[in-house]
């Protein structure tokens, strides 16, 4: 039977483990004390975890009905021509595996079509909350602020197929 420290304290080539670890740290481009390496994203969060609140989605809906409904329609499916659907396959196909940050920036910088950027970031965040609720993502306990989105750690995962309000099915049946 092996003793408790067998193979742990010693290195195969006779280099003490701590020297080996030090050399690895030196050779590693993003070694100790450096900023967070840019290739490694912070632990990402999923929209399935509930990243907005019901109250926020309700606020977003009120704005939507004033500013967006004319083109994107009450069911958020657009007009089937120039104006795209914001839910179902139309959403998932375009945004799956992208960052929520990119979606937010695109929205803020292009909508409403006649006055991009005019609503202010908190309102755009509310609109995102409303659209996410309509796509079929669950709400949670924390509001989705522009600052939270700006951390760029939220990834757009396809909504759960069995989400109560999922619109994937009717859209794909089109
Ligand atoms: C005058 C009509 C009009 C209004 C009003 C309007 N949109 Fe749009 N929206 C469009 C058109 C047209 C596009 C496609 C633009 C493009 O592809 O460049 C679009 C694209 C989008 C997209 C991108 C969709 C995607 O998956 O790429 C989002 C999100 C969006 N609109 C949300 C909104 C919201 C929220 C509002 C209200 C604040 C709004 N729109 C107001 C016409 C409109």
- What's the 169 CA to ligand 1 centre distance in angstroms? 22
**Does residue 69 belong to any structural domain of this protein?**
yes
**Does residue 37 belong to any structural domain of this protein?**
no
**Does residue 39 belong to any structural domain of this protein?**
no
Lowest mean pLDDT among 10-24, 72-86, 120-134: 10-24
* pLDDT tens digits for range 108-135: 999 999 999 999 999 999 999 999 999 9
pTM for the full predicted model: 0.77
Residue 2's pLDDT is: 52
**Does residue 16 belong to any structural domain of this protein?**
no
**Does residue 61 belong to any structural domain of this protein?**
yes
**Does residue 35 belong to any structural domain of this protein?**
no
**Does residue 28 belong to any structural domain of this protein?**
no
Q: Are 54 and 141 in contact (CB under 8 A)?
A: no
* pLDDT tens digits for range 37-66: 444 556 789 999 999 999 999 999 999 999
Residue 162's pLDDT is: 66
Domain enclosing residue 62, as ranges: 45-172
Query: % helix / strand / coil in the chain, to the nearest 5?
Result: 45, 5, 55
Give the domain CATH number at 111.
1.10.760.10
Give the count of domains, the chain: 1
* pLDDT tens digits for range 134-163: 999 999 999 999 999 999 999 999 888 766
**Does residue 113 belong to any structural domain of this protein?**
yes
- What's the 147 CA to ligand 1 centre distance in angstroms? 22
- Strands annotated E in the chain: 45-46, 154-155
Which amino acids bring their CB within 6 angstroms of ligand 1? 67-68, 70-72, 82-84, 86, 91, 94, 107, 111-113, 127
- What's the 128 CA to ligand 1 centre distance in angstroms? 12
Contacts of 67 by beta carbon, 8 Å cutoff, 6+ apart: 112, 119
- What's the 173 CA to ligand 1 centre distance in angstroms? 23
Query: What is the Cα Rg of the chain in Å?
Result: 23
Give the containing element (helix H, strand E) for 131.
helix 121-135
């Amino acid at each position: 039977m092996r003793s408790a420290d067998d193979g742990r304290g010693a290195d195969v080539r006779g280099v003490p483990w701590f020297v080996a670890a030090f050399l690895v740290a030196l050779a590693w481009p993003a070694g100790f004390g450096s900023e967070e390496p840019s290739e490694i994203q912070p632990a990402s969060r999923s929209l399935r975890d509930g990243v907005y609140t019901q109250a926020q989605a309700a606020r977003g809906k009120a704005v939507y009905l004033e500013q967006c409904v004319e083109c994107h329609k009450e069911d958020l499916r657009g007009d089937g021509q120039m104006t795209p659907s914001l839910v179902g396959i139309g959403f998932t196909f375009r945004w799956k595996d992208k960052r929520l940050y990119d979606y937010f920036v695109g929205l803020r910088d292009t909508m409403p079509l006649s006055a991009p950027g005019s609503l202010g970031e908190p309102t755009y965040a509310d609109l995102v909350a409303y659209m996410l609720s309509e796509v079929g993502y669950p709400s949670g306990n924390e509001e989705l602020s522009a600052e939270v989105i700006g951390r760029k750690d939220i990834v757009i995962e396809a909504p759960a197929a069995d989400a109560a309000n999922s619109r994937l099915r009717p859209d794909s049946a089109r």
